[in-house]
């Protein structure tokens, strides 16, 4: 099992890899720039080399970089869509120094234009961005459906993917809190949810999972993450996610409201249960 959490890259790639090892992670997520926008730091080749050495030595799985929250690929204003495109392309160019990793993004909010227009605009956005993906794969994140978000259900994600001309560098990141808040009961109907995902999107297109509990009841459409076992989904349901034979090979990223000690405890809890129950 590859499991980790969202970590800060403020001190560089080597430092973030060392933080991951220290808390028992073998994957992690990170922003290449401030999550609220702004310029990204230049990549230091020596820093990258040191990071690669740590990842190789400790057997890390794929990493999952995250686009800034400020990007809205289907914004009504053309200048905001251009900003989203240019920022993501710049991030992908920087991520290319670490080959074979993922870059997930929120597909955007249509802001009163309607879901059809939002899906069309984000599809056009992906057709511009994906040729710049290099060795990385861009992942559409499943959303909770708050406000005017697109990607609020599997149908909308499938419609968005259908608008992309070349999907060879495209995939999906499933967020457990988001789909729960979106109405998918992974606590009692996980197999049914995965069957629906497979029928509409294809499990072969699923590359990563954000592993989060939810502060909200099923189908709340609010997107408020909770620590593992402190929400409405619960540890047992999330343990079934990480051990499910159709999912267990994927990188699992915790985005729970924690500091490093809290993440270390959550990671260790999953690892301990794997050993205790013989699922490792």
Confidence of residue 278 (pLDDT cuts 50, 70, 90): confident
CB 35 within 8 A of CB 259: no
pLDDT single digits (tens) 141-155: 999 999 999 999 999
pLDDT single digits (tens) 10-24: 999 999 999 999 999
pLDDT single digits (tens) 173-222: 999 999 999 999 999 999 999 999 999 999 999 999 999 999 999 999 99
| Ordered structural domains, the chain, with CATH | 2-277 (3.20.20.150)
Nearest to 18, CA basis, from 54, 64, 45, 65: 54
pLDDT score, position 120: 98
Q: Is the pTM of this model over 0.95?
A: yes
d(CA 279, CA 182): 29
pLDDT score, position 280: 58
pLDDT single digits (tens) 117-141: 999 999 999 999 999 999 999 999 9
Does residue 39 register a pLDDT over 80?
no
Q: Express as a percent the part of the chain with pLDDT over 90.
A: 94
pLDDT score, position 105: 98
pLDDT score, position 38: 72
Question: DSSP character for 11?
Answer: T
DSSP state letters, 74-128: T-SSHHHHHHHHHHHHHHHHHHTTSTT-EEEE---B-TTS-HHHHHHHHHHHHHH
pLDDT score, position 36: 76
Of the listed ranges 29-38, 82-91, 222-231, 235-244, the least confidently predicted one is 29-38
Nearest to 6, CA basis, from 228, 258, 250, 272: 258
**What is the H or E stretch that residue 174 is in?**
strand 170-175
Q: What is the mean pLDDT of residues 238-256?
A: 98
Alpha-helical regions (H) of the chain: 13-22, 45-57, 78-95, 115-129, 154-162, 176-181, 190-200, 235-243, 260-277
pLDDT score, position 76: 97
How far, in Å, are 67, 86, 113, 130, 139 from residue 77 at the CA level?
19, 15, 11, 21, 24
Q: What is the mean pLDDT of the chain?
A: 96
């Amino acid at each position: 099992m590859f499991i980790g959490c969202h970590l800060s890259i403020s001190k560089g790639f080597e430092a973030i890899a060392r933080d991951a090892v220290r808390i028992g992670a073998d994957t992690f997520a990170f922003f290449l720039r401030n999550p609220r926008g702004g310029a990204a730091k230049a990549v230091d080749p020596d820093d990258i080399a040191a990071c690669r050495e740590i990842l190789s030595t400790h057997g890390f799985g794929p990493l999952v970089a995250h686009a800034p929250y400020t990007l809205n690929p289907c914004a009504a204003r053309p200048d905001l869509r251009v900003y989203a495109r240019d920022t993501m392309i710049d991030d992908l160019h920087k991520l290319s120094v670490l080959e074979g990793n993922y870059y997930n993004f929120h597909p955007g909010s249509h802001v009163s234009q309607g879901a059809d227009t939002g899906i069309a605009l984000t599809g056009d956005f992906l057709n511009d961005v994906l040729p710049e993906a290099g060795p990385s794969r861009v992942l559409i994140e499943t959303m909770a459906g708050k406000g005017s978000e697109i990607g609020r259900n599997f149908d909308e994600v499938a419609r968005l993917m259908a608008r992309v001309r070349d999907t060879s560098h495209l995939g999906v990141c499933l967020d457990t809190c988001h789909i729960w808040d979106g109405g998918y009961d992974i606590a009692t109907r996980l197999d049914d949810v995965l069957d629906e995902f497979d029928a509409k999107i294809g499990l072969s297109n699923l590359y990563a999972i954000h592993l989060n509990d939810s502060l909200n009841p099923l189908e709340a459409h609010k997107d408020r993450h909770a620590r593992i076992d402190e929400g409405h989904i619960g540890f047992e349901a999330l343990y079934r996610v990480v051990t499910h034979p159709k999912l267990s090979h994927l990188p699992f990223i915790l985005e729970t409201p924690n500091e490093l000690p809290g993440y270390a405890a959550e990671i260790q809890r999953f690892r301990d249960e794997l050993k205790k129950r013989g699922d490792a």
